[in-house]
Structure 1
Amino acid sequence: MKVICPKCKSEHTAPIMYGYPEPEAWEASERGEIILGGCMVFPHQEDYGCLDCNHRWSLDSLPAKAIKKMRIRVFEQGPCTIDMARAWVYEIYADGTARKYDYQGRSRKALFSEKEQVSERKTIELFREFQKVMSKYPEEVIVAEVLDGCGYNLQVTYFDHRKRIIKGNLGGGTIDNLVMGFFGKIFDVEK
């Protein structure tokens, strides 16, 4: 799927490459496969650009309204067997639709599913808080590290078609507290 420019909605976009380019990079730039970003590298630089309107952006610079969907899969890890391990999937869409699925073992079929509707305002508040946390330097983003309990995979889908994936463990990290706190107010969340 092609990345879409958030400014002009063009699909004529390319990733930005920083550093001194090799000859192959110059050729890729001439073909429109990459954009040369220069030799200086700073935190939070744009990582994608539009070849039509010259707009450049990064996931961190996008507004909260650019998030299309947030999906977190929480799974048991530790002393349980693979067939008995439980997993929960929570999803929230930009329109406020929230879904929860319960799984057991390796099955891809949900044992139970639930759907709720929350206000778009509450959803955008979650997305805004998430963007605020992610716009900080990586060392300020706390992801808990524990060896048992529950782990998670958080996937955030943006309207430009890119996805951000964060992996961690439920244990008091900034990201899991934010997301699971939100879903805990909607569903009966086992933590």
Structure 2
Amino acid sequence: MSFLKRIKIQLKRVYNPHTIFLNKLRKQGAIIGKNVQIVDKGSFLYEPWCAELIEIQDEVVIAAGVRLVNHDSSYANIFGKLPTKYGKIIIESNVYIGVNSIILPGVRIGESSLIGAGTIINKSIPPRSVVVGSPCKIIGTIDKGVEKYIKMIDNDNELIDFIDVGGSYSEIMSNHGFKSDQYIMNAYNEYYKKNKE
């Protein structure tokens, strides 16, 4: 292996944009656990001046466009001398938050919950819940949800494919490190290349 190639590998280990972003959140006061994935750091919105009100525990995946809103100044802005509401947001371990969801102040999302795309979380969610809607509504448990999901795998919907990309994000990260995103894209491309032949 050439000297330059070894240097590039070492730089990728040190300069990982995802790790840098999570460390930035930590420096601003947020509590961030292990194996947290924020899919699109550019579209992840939060309020850096009150980042200490954010706690994201281990094994959490936050999809693109998610917003964490730790304050509400609406009444204070309209009526003047009213105080502004600030509240913690706690996302417990092993939670998935879907694309463009909004989490409002004073909310705890219980462990192993699944938040559907576009959901507005305005109240705390018990562990192992499946939640959708605006405002949010608990539609079931994660255990019943996975039963339905497994049944969908055997469905004959020609518009949907189920691709094994190697497990959860944390499993892929532990096996492939900084090459995880490339590994997932390769699995995706290989699947479609194989099935188009």
Question: Fold conserved (TM > 0.5)?
Answer: no
Question: Relative to total residues, which structure has the larger strand share, 1 or 2?
Answer: 1
TM-score (norm 1): 0.21
**Structure with higher RCO (Cα < 8 A, 6+ apart):** 1
TM-score (norm 2): 0.20
Question: Relative to total residues, which structure has the larger helix share, 1 or 2?
Answer: 2
